[in-house]
Chains A and B, each alone.
Chain A
Amino acid sequence: MISDITLGQYFPGTSCVHRLDPRFKIILTILFMVALFSARNIFVYAALALFTVLLVLASRISLRVVLRSIRPLLFILIFTLILHVLMSTRTDGRKLIEWKWLTVYDMDFYRAGVMILRIVLLVLGTSVLLSYTTTPISLTDAIESLLKPLAAIRVPVHEFAMMMTIALRFIPTMLEETEKIMNAQKARGADLSSGNPFKKIRALIPVLIPLIVSAFQRALDLATAMECRCYRGSKGRTKLVKLRSTPADGVALLLFCAVLAGVYLGNYFIPIGISVG
């Protein structure tokens, strides 16, 4: 059923991660990513992994859900492993297999492991910071607010943000509408699920036509409604819900800066371990 698709993956909650200012969350995510890609040795990675786990725990999102976000990555992870082990041209560490053109060193496995850890941490960290704990709407607000300086060089930041908000707002509505129309046609004996692909596409016509017609109607209605309320773009417009940063946001920012600094210090002072990446 269409309604089973979780949209934007947002999970409602009131944890400290949920309550952070979305603008800060975007910045924190960037800092986190930089830290992850700057790490140069295994101990620093271990520390970052621990930090990510703490982050997940702080968001109070069930581990089962978080781990489920890794599943679609499985293919990429396996691909990474194969690429690193079989295709690597480095020749360090102990030789494990030598067969024709293929040579496998134990260091290849080590590098592959680090790479996989990096990808997993990246997905976990960003999804907990952004997609799981921030509504798409507040994310758009935050992007608009962060990009505001660009308005000075005449980039229509507000209009882009408005378009994004409207698009996001109407995804669930359109899905609901699709399901309703599909049900209405099924009630008249339409067969939407069997037959060859060509037949299936043809069977969708009775669903698509009403859907497109109503989407246009909705767009016209919305435009009229906006004009009736004197909407004319960003000029002189204020926000009902202002994004407000709290001391907690500052603390989070300091924490992430400290983590980033820690990563650089770790890279510098712990020369043991083998450089990666």
Chain B
Amino acid sequence: MYKLELKDVTHVYGARTPFERCALRSVNIGFETGIVTGLIGHTGSGKSTLVQMMNGLIRPTKGTVLLDGKDIWEKPKEIRSVRFRVGLVMQYPEYQLFDETVGRDIGFALRNKGCSEETIKEKVTEAAERVGLSPSLLSKSPFDLSGGQRRRAAIAGVLVMDPEVLVLDEPAAGLDPRGRAEILGYLYRYRETNGATVILVSHSMEDMAQYCDRVAVMRDGEIYADGTTDEIFSDPDRLFDAGMDVPEVMKIALELKKRGISLEGKLYTVEGMRDAVLHALGKGGNR
């Protein structure tokens, strides 16, 4: 059984106005426990709509969303309980910070949940640690932090709920390469320690290749391709057809292939490429 499953979901914005737009058409997708799934697609392909359905921010016009096999919209009044279980980090989450101190802001979700102050304090410290925020920052105003620190604080504000499913919409957008790797590393580790199901929306093929077990490509409100990372990157032409790209390192492999040199292995990651090249050379490649 899937941890989270979207069955035949359709969503129409601005129904019955001249601005009517169908964002999703009969999408079927399921997410298994503990798997990191990458969701990729152009702007307007329906990624954000799909992601907001997962924790009940958007109710599908048609279709059902199942969490542990139960329809999350069975009792619309209790939708909030779903949001504590499916943590969603929106795009540019640093804009959601509002409280007097970083610590209080991270604890916002737990106060909404009705936890005791001691539990909140304990969990806030733990969540800050998970994203590499030093405890001394917790008593500062969120508006005094740097951009990168604010991003981490905002992500900690979702991790603090210990969500079973973690949905991330471009968590590393606008960060420098080092900040990117750090943030994604922390999130990857959260999956390792909590066994959480992770859904990662990103524009970056490198992120997909490095962090995801499975990749789903969206196009015009539909799932265009869906498979393990290996399967998706073994057919680069299919990606090019959808207007997508492949990781930079893989382009080298494709150019080599054009020149008659075939490599074997995970050519979409730097490590995989390195191994493949060494292997080919070791086997007596004479170029």
Contacts and interface: CB of A to CB of B under 8 A. Distances in A.
A180 B14 contact: no
A11 B109 CA distance: 41
Contact of A11 (B18, B80, B88, B89): B18
A146 interface: no
Interface residues of B, number: 29
Interface in A172-216: 177, 180-181, 183-191, 205-207, 209-210, 213-214
Contacts of A183: 52, 57, 90
B158 interface: yes
A98 interface: no
A238 interface: no
Interface string B160-179: 01000000000000000000
B17 interface: yes
A189 B84 contact: yes
Given A184-B90, A190-B112, 9 more contacts: A187-B57, A187-B158, A188-B96, A188-B157, A189-B80, A189-B83, A189-B161, A209-B98, A214-B95
A246 interface: no
Given A188-B108, A188-B112, A210 B57 contact: no
B87 interface: yes
A187 B57 CA distance: 7
A210 B96 contact: yes
Nearest to B143: A213
Given A187-B90, A187-B158, A181 B112 contact: no
Given A3-B14, A189-B112, A205 B98 contact: yes
Interface of A: 3-4, 6, 11-12, 177, 180-181, 183-191, 205-207, 209-210, 213-214
Given A184-B93, A185-B96, A206-B98, A3 B83 contact: no
Contacts of B158: 187-188
Nearest to B80: A189
B208 interface: no
Contact of B109 (A180, A188, A209): A188
A60 to B, nearest CB: 12
Contacts of A187: 55, 57, 83, 87-90, 158
A271 B122 CA distance: 88
B224 interface: no
Contacts of A11: 18
Contacts of A214: 95
A183 B49 CA distance: 12
Nearest to B88: A187
Q: List the 6 closest A-B pairs by CB distance, nearest first.
A: A189-B112, A184-B96, A188-B109, A209-B98, A187-B88, A206-B98
Nearest to A180: B90
A206 B17 contact: no
A214 B17 CA distance: 30
B97 interface: yes
Contacts of A180: 90, 95
A190 B13 CA distance: 24
A180 B95 CA distance: 9
A251 to B, nearest CB: 28
Nearest to A214: B95
A188 B80 CA distance: 9
A214 B96 CA distance: 10
B113 interface: yes
A28 to B, nearest CB: 24
Interface in B91-117: 93, 95-99, 108-109, 112-113
Interface in B29-72: 52, 55, 57
A210 B95 contact: yes
Given A4-B14, A180-B90, A213-B143, A206 B95 contact: no
